Amino acid sequence: MVRVCVIGAGAAGLCAARHLLVEPCVNQLDILEQAPQLGGTWVYTENVGYDDFGLPIHTSMYKSLRTNLPKEIMGFPDFPVPESDKSYLPAKDMLAFLKLYADKHGVTDKIKFRHHVQLVIPKQTPSGELWDVTYKNLTNGAIETKEYDYIFVCNGHYNTPFIPHIPGLKEFKGDVMHSHDYRVPDIFADKRVLVIGAGPSGMDIALELTTVSKKVILSHHLKEQPRTEFPDNLQQKPDVERLEGDKVYFLDGSEDEVDVVFLCTGYMYNFPFLHESCDIVVEENCVEPLYKHVVNMKHPSMCFIGVPYYVCAFSMFDLQVRYYVRSMNGTFSLPTPEQMAEHWEEEKRDRAARGFTRRQAHMMGPDQEKYYASLADEAKTKTLPSVVTKIRDESMIRFFHNLKNYRQDKYKIIDDGTYEIISNGKRE
C-alpha cells in the first residue's frame, strides 16, 4: 500500500499527479493545493501582499506577460500545447493549457483545493520511514495530519522575492518594489524608475515601463550587452554601488536621481512547511542535499520537482517525475546515500571549476542536455529530444538581442533534432 502526497498543483504538481495516477504501485494519491484553482504561477491576479486567508500571494504573473519560450517547447512530451498561429502565448493561454492537461488526465477532480500544507515531518516506524503531513482546510479551518509513504514537493520557486544587499536601499526616499508585486505599468506613469536586474522579467518589464515612465534605467551586470534597440527613454547602466536619498550611484562612477527602485532580482527557494528533520537546507539559494536536483538524499522517499532553472520547464518536470516514479516502482534502484552524496559533491566541484557560483547551483542552461540524459539513462526512460534545447537556446538569444520583435517568430518542429522559424515572413 503506497500512499503519496503531492504538494502544489502548478505545472510540476499536475505532471506528478498525471503519472502517479496511472502508476500501479500507487494506491492512494493526495494532491494538496492551497489556492482555489490549479496553475500556480500562471494564475493572474491583481492582488498583491496577502490573500483572504493571510497567505502570501503566490503568483508573480503580470498582466501583459507572454511566454518567453515558444509554445512548441512549452508543453509536456506526451501532451503538446495545441496548435495556434502564434508561438509565444499570453499567460491565460498557458493556464488554459494546464487546465486541459489536468482535465484530460483525470487530475483536476482529485485535487484538494484550498488545502494549505503547514508541516511535513519524517517519522521512523517498524516498517521504515514514513511522513506525517499536516494541512489546513482553508474553507472550514480544519487541521488534519495524515501519513504518507512518499512526498512530492512541487511548491514552485518564483514567489519569495530575493532582495539583494544594496547600501542605502532601506533608507531610499522613493518607492521600492519587487517584480513579484508587479501587475501593470500604470503605477509608474511619469516616474523615473531604476530597474535592477536584466533577467527575463527585468528586460520585459523595463521595456514595458518605457511606454509610461519618464525615464527607465536598467542596471545589470550581463557579460554581453543586449543588442536590443531600446527606446530613447531607457538607459543601461552597470550595477548600483549605493543609494543615497533619491540618488543612485553606479559602479562606473556615474550617478542619477530616481523615484522608484524596482527590483527584478529573482526569487529564493523556500520550503516553509519542511520540518528541520527533513534535513533540507537552503543557503545562497542552493537546496541541499538533493541527488540530481530531485531526491532528498537523507530521506529518499521525498522528491522535489522543478528545482533547476534555465530549462524547458514542463518537459523537465515530466522527465524528473518519470525518473522518480521509476525508482518507486523498482525499474531501477537509487544509489546508496553515500554514492548520491559523492555524485553531488562531484557535480559541485565541476560547476565551481567552470565558474558557477553557489547561487547558481541549480542553473542548467548549457548543462541541460547532459542533465536530461543523465536522468533518463539512470531510470531507463526516454530523454527529451534535442530539438527542445536547441529551440530554447535560439529563443533566448533572440530574446536578448531582439526583445521588441522576437515574439513574432513562429516555430515549427520538423523532427526530434530540427526545426524551422518563420521570422518577418521569411523561413529560416
Binding footprint of ligand FAD on the chain (CB under 6 A) = 7-13, 32-35, 40-42, 58, 60-61, 65, 67-69, 74, 116-117, 154-156, 158, 201, 273, 306, 313
Given the complex with ligand FAD, which of 155 and 228 has the nearer CB atom?
A: 155
**Smallest distance, Å, CB 201 to ligand FAD?**
5
CA distances from 177 to 162, 195, 221 (A): 11, 10, 20
CB 33 within 8 A of CB 13: yes
By three-state DSSP, how is residue 182 classified?
A: coil
**Smallest distance, Å, CB 8 to ligand FAD?**
3
Given the complex with ligand FAD, which of 120 and 243 has the nearer CB atom?
A: 120
Given the complex with ligand FAD, which of 158 and 419 has the nearer CB atom?
A: 158
Neighbours of 14 (CB within 10 A): 28
CA distances from 271 to 5, 32, 324 (A): 15, 15, 20
DSSP structure string for 268-291:
----TTB-GGG--EEETTEEESEE
**Smallest distance, Å, CB 32 to ligand FAD?**
5
Task: Give the three cell numbers for residue 252.
Answer: 562606473
Given the complex with ligand FAD, which of 201 and 368 has the nearer CB atom?
A: 201
**Smallest distance, Å, CB 380 to ligand FAD?**
25
Q: What is the CA radius of gyration of the chain?
A: 22
d(CA 145, CA 147): 7
Q: Which amino acid is at 88?
A: Y
d(CA 312, CA 31): 24
**Smallest distance, Å, CB 89 to ligand FAD?**
9
Given the complex with ligand FAD, which of 44 and 356 has the nearer CB atom?
A: 44
Given the complex with ligand FAD, which of 154 and 384 has the nearer CB atom?
A: 154
d(CA 167, CA 340): 40
Given the complex with ligand FAD, which of 301 and 395 has the nearer CB atom?
A: 395
Given the complex with ligand FAD, which of 60 and 296 has the nearer CB atom?
A: 60
Given the complex with ligand FAD, which of 135 and 172 has the nearer CB atom?
A: 135
**Smallest distance, Å, CB 164 to ligand FAD?**
18
Phi, psi of 305 (to 5 degrees): -110, 125
Phi, psi of 138 (to 5 degrees): -70, -20
d(CA 311, CA 125): 38
**Smallest distance, Å, CB 59 to ligand FAD?**
7
d(CA 150, CA 131): 7
Burial 243-257, CB ≥16 within 10 A → b, else e: beeeebbbeeeeebe
What angle do helix axes 91-104 and 11-20 make, rounded to 10 degrees? 10
d(CA 99, CA 95): 6
Given the complex with ligand FAD, which of 116 and 237 has the nearer CB atom?
A: 116
DSSP structure string for 120-169:
EEEEEETTEEEEEEEEEETTT--EEEEEESEEEE---SSSSB-----TTT
Given the complex with ligand FAD, which of 33 and 93 has the nearer CB atom?
A: 33
